[in-house]
Structure 1
Amino acid sequence: MTLFVEFHLIQNFAPSNLNRDDTGAPKDALFGGYRRARVSSQCFKRAIRLAAQAHGLVAPEHRGVRTKKLLGLLSERLSHRDPQEARSRIETALAAAGLKLKEDGKTEYLLFLGEGEIAGFAELIEQHWDELAGPAAGGEKKGKKEAKASAPAEVVKKAKALLNGGKAVDVALFGRMLADLPEVNQDAACQVAHAISTHRIEREFDYFTAVDDEGGPDETGAGMIGQVEFNSATFYRYAVVDAHKLLDNLQGDRELTLAALEAFTQAKVRAIPSGKQNTFAAHNLPAFVGVCLRHAGPLNLANAFERPVAPGRDQALSSLSVAELAGHEEKLAAVYADGRDRWAYLDLSGAWPSDKGEAQPNLGALARWVREQVATELEG
């Protein structure tokens, strides 16, 4: 049995630059032959993780951390120990798991670890403090192989076993890949599409000046001038979670899986990228949020906007976009969908058909609907 939990959002942002390219311009893409505004999936994934943390949607012990500064995190947990001795043992324990610290104390690449995994390493070092003592404790630098070899076989086995995802919800959702440790990779249970505008866009430029508050009467002109690119767009956002894959990634913990889906529903809707927000303050939540439980396979509805929506005087772009989304879904569902598929939605636009799914009064109710419906499916 398969169960895919899909999220379809229509969200209009005021003038903003939420996600920049290497030139500082808002990201964009060609779609359907027209230039569209774009916010990358990576950008929204981070915004989702930050929203979940800011709103306390996921317990701290079930969060993940993306960092190169694992040494510092472990040193904090071992702060009651001598710093030099602690570093030596941390290095040996990490090497036992196949992880190496560089000269600056950072790992070779960004690691995506669960809080449970980090806590597990700290506990392992405490339990095997004496066994992990070696030449590096006296200041001699060990290589990766030497550090691993200096760890007892029991510690090596335990260290490798720690890298199991640690029941971290965001690691389970978004996955991780370590090229030289493929055995600890985790395939993502969630796929997030790049958000694209439902209509064509053109770049705009803000020419700005800054005045020197201490400028004298003989000083004319601005103390600084510059320009920043921006746009305003109505976006279609899509994500899908494989509920059974999420359950597997969370080591069969059914209650945590249901809590994760409830949290993801809220975080997905509340997630707003932080790019240039001090300049634009584009804190605009979605006009429409639709959740669909699919069984035959996921259906990204972006092609509803292959022909861009055209703005009109009588209806907002967001309302026009919701109507296009509903019409396109009807066409696709008639051909590809499973008769068991179910919708629930929040609609501030008034354009979603009232007979298409269960209307929810607020975001909390929608999140609970997701939890309850998936709970029933997982039982089956």
Structure 2
Amino acid sequence: MSKNLYLDINVLQTVPSSNINRDDTGAPKTAFYGGVMRARVSSQSWKRATRKAFAEDGAEIGTRTLKVPQLLAEKLMELDSSLSQEEADKMAAAALGAAGIKVKKDNVTGALLMVSKGQIEGLAKYVLAGEELDKKEAKKNLLQGNSLDLALFGRMVADNPELNVDASAQVAHAISTHEIIPEYDYFTALDDLQGKEQSGAALIQTTQYDSATLYRYANVNMGELAHNLDGKDAVEGAVTFVKDFALSMPTGKQNSFANKTVPSYLMVTVRDDTPVNLVSAFEQPATARDGKGYLENSVNKLEAEFVDTQAFVDAPLATLVAGKFDTKIGEKEDNLNDLLDKLRDVLKKAVEDEDLNN
């Protein structure tokens, strides 16, 4: 068997009037694909939503911040109560400097840096061991003990590429399966304390929105995930990602539109050759037929594209489907939990065969 093992996640989800991911003008993000305008939600936006869902699920997540020196100083004082703030700050700056991270005069880094709790604790313990700071050892402590989000989404340190963590997951920008036309909401607000002699609105504004059936896609390189998690359970990490990617949603304008929905269709495949994004199913936009909307047609197009790809790639080791539509391509599970349980079993067997942790 090949030493590759990939997990594909395909989601179809309808979103009503909403503006969950805005551009610099405040309008919903869009993309042209197949010659027409599509609704779009950036991968960064959905990754952040997924990270927040990890935390709500009890998974350890990292911290992206300029204040890494302060986090390290706090951990040093927690482990050694005799340290003063000034001493801890100096030790933190020295340790980070040894690792190749510059600390500015205001005790922050020059750029945002993602770190896990384990990395902060490991570096603090290394500093307190009293040994002379070694560049290699300092960096080592920032390259192990990755949190789940760091293991999945990676880390780029422009000034010090040796501290980069290669992402084990790829997340596509979500796009609508069909053409959309942006719409505008005109609204006003009255001053509750204005007198009877006053008339007119105290505020007049417009906001843009759209509605769409979105195609969402992500994949996981299971070998890279196992490497990034330092021998921790990559299977459970992948299962958690599938669940929280499927159920999370960016929160832009959510109070204004109450647009939180759940997927109508979820397809997960386990492959041993290459990940496959099935967005080409919608290069020719889906259409709303017979009053059925876009969703059913989108499901049919997606499954047809899945079949067509078999002319170019190997058949998946497993294809699992959950949702309200019957499937012609895989095993239909009654609900998300059943799909996750089956996926866990499939991945455990595949990982044992691949011996990914070695």
Per-residue deviation, residues 301-356 of structure 1 (Å, max 9, x unmatched): 101111111113432311211111011111112x02324532111122x2532xx2
Query: Which residue of 321, 335, 349 maps to 1:362?
Result: 335
The CA deviation at 1:85 is: 1.9
CA-to-aligned-CA distance 1:216-267 (integer Å, 9 cap, x gap) = 22221112121111101100001111111111222233xx201101111111
Aligned residue number for residue 139 of structure 1: none
- Report deviation, 1:64: 1.6
* TM-score of the superposed pair, with normalisation by structure 2: 0.92
For residues 100-179 of structure 1, what are the structure 2 equivalents within 5 Å? Answer: 100-128=102-130, 152-154=132-134, 156-179=135-158
Match of 2:293 among 316, 329, 333: 316
Give the alignment of 1:83-98 within 5 angstroms.
83-98=85-100
Please tell me the residue identity of whatever aligns with 1:281: A
**Partner SS for 2:151:** helix
Q: Which amino acid aligns with 1:359?
A: K
- So what's the TM-score if we normalise by structure 1? 0.87
Corresponding residue of 1:352: 327
Partner AA of 2:190 in structure 1: V
Q: Are 1:201 and 2:201 matched, yes or no? A: no
Aligned pair 1:306/2:283, yes or no? yes
| Structure 2 CA distance for partners of 1:351 and 1:211, relative to 1, 3 Å | farther
CA offset at residue 36 of structure 1? 0.3
Distance 2:73 2:24 in 1: 35
User: Contact 2:95/2:133 (CA < 8 Å) preserved in 1?
Assistant: no
Q: Secondary structure at the match of 1:322?
A: helix
Q: 1:289 aligns with which of 252, 261, 266?
A: 266
Matching residue of 1:22: 24
Q: Quick one: structure 1 residues 72 and 223, their matched pair in 2 at CA, closer, same or farther if it must change by over 3 Å?
A: farther
SS at match of 2:28: coil
Q: Are 2:210 and 1:234 aligned?
A: no
Q: Residues 30, 165 of structure 1: CA spacing in aligned structure 2 closer, same or farther, 3 A cutoff?
A: farther
Contact 2:127 2:133 in 1 (8 A): no
Aligned to 1:279: 256
Instruction: Look up the match of 1:328.
Output: 305
Q: Does 1:373 align with 2:346?
A: yes
How far has the Cα of 1:126 moved from its partner? Answer: 3.5
Asked if the contact 2:318/2:346 (under 8 Å) is kept, the reply is no
**1:68 to 2:37 alignment:** no
CA contact (8 A) 1:35 1:200 kept: yes
Query: What is the rounded CA distance, in whole Å, between the counterparts of 1:376 and 1:115 in structure 2?
Result: 31
Q: Distance in 2 between matches of 1:17 and 1:363?
A: 26
- Offset, 1:73: 2.1
CA contact (8 A) 2:70 2:89 kept: no
Q: Matched residues in 1 for 2:105 and 2:295: separation? A: 52
Aligned to 1:49: 51
In 1: Cα distance, 2:54 partner to 2:133 partner: 39
Q: In 2, distance between residues paired with 1:367 and 1:97?
A: 39
Q: In the aligned structure 1, how far is the partner of 2:157 from the partner of 2:272?
A: 31
Unmatched segments (≥5 aa) in structure 2: 354-358
| Alignment counterpart, residue 214 of structure 1, candidates 181, 190, 193 | 193
The Cα shift of 1:181 comes to 1.5
The residue number in structure 2 matching 1:190 is 169
Aligned AA for 2:106?
D
Instruction: Classify 1:191/1:297 alpha carbon distance in 2 versus 1 (closer, same or farther; 3 Å).
Output: same
Tell me by how many angstroms 1:180 deviates: 2.1
Structure 1 Cα separation of the partners of residues 7 and 179 of structure 2: 29
**Does the CA contact (< 8 Å) of 1:323 and 1:351 recur in 2?**
no
Q: Per-residue deviation at 1:72?
A: 3.0
**Which residue is equivalent to 1:39?**
41
Contact 1:18 1:275 in 2 (8 A): yes
1:4 Cα shift?
Answer: 1.0
* Contact 2:6 2:274 (C-alpha < 8 Å) held by counterparts: yes
